[in-house]
Chains A and B, each alone.
Chain A
């Protein structure tokens, strides 16, 4: 009964900022368009960032210094200047090089799995975390009783040694 409540509460505390923040990040590219300082070149750079260089391993168009990347950057700028939208340009490159030219998986088909699994895993992790915390907290009463009884039984016997410990700690402090 309380589990759902605390799941809710803790996930609110942790993940509300997460969601608020992930909204602007995902829309960062579009919102930048409204900025007066970000213009044509910003749009082009955004596209450079979203497309891979087809021959260089693991580098985006923006990172790559190869001739083909430079040519593709040129194509992007020409197409933008001709009034094509970023999506049209991306689709053009996909039709030439296939899906793997996109720097991030599309949010459909197999690509959807790439996006869906992480949040699922995080929430599973969170759920396990909360269950663990609750289980760990429940144990409290017995352990207090246990250590308490231990103290009474051995206290007398340990008294001279405790005096020694206190003595040493005092001398150690200076």
Chain B
């Protein structure tokens, strides 16, 4: 009984740590992965800024920030969010470009 559990444990652990090393990496998958990672990262960053903007807007509504510092702060955050959107679009385009380059290269080689 004990030896069954022991073997099972070792097998599960071995699978977990070795799978990333021996997994086959198809190129298309990795570009998709790249795109997904890229989007995720930006979504996280953007959601943070939006949350901050919403918090600030509420603080302004209940008058717990002064008009003046609300103005400077909200402008800074909007700029930050816009810059992020710009970078995201640029990055996405780059990856898509990479992907189409890759596909055409594969097509040519065939």
- Given A161-B85, A162-B82, A164-B85, 7 extra CB contacts under 8 A: A151-B75, A154-B79, A162-B79, A165-B82, A165-B85, A169-B53, A172-B50
Chain A interface (Cβ < 8 Å from any Cβ of B): 147, 151, 154-155, 157-158, 161-162, 164-166, 168-169, 172-173
Q: Say whether B76 contacts A165, CB under 8 Å.
A: no
Q: Would you call B83 an interface residue if the criterion is a C-beta within 8 Å of the partner chain's C-beta atoms?
A: yes
| Cβ A147 vs Cβ B76 within 8 A | yes
Do A161 and B86 have beta carbons less than 8 Å apart?
yes
- Of all chain B residues, the one with the shortest Cβ separation from A166 is B78
User: Which 3 residue pairs spanning A and B have beta carbons closest together?
Assistant: A161-B82, A158-B82, A162-B82
Give residues in B with beta carbon < 8 Å to A: 50, 53-54, 75-76, 78-79, 81-83, 85-86
Instruction: Show 24 A/B contacts (Cβ-Cβ < 8 Å), sorted by A.
Output: A147-B76, A151-B75, A154-B83, A155-B79, A158-B83, A158-B86, A161-B81, A161-B83, A161-B85, A161-B86, A162-B78, A162-B82, A164-B82, A164-B85, A165-B78, A165-B81, A165-B85, A166-B78, A168-B50, A169-B50, A169-B53, A169-B54, A172-B50, A172-B54
Chain A nearest CB: distance from B49 CB in Å?
A: 9
Bound: A155/B50 CA distance, A: 19
Kindly report which residue of chain A lies nearest to residue B89, judged by CB atoms: A161
Give complex CA distance A161, B82 in Å: 5
Give the nearest-CB partner of B85 in chain A: A161
Residue of A nearest to B49 (CB): A165
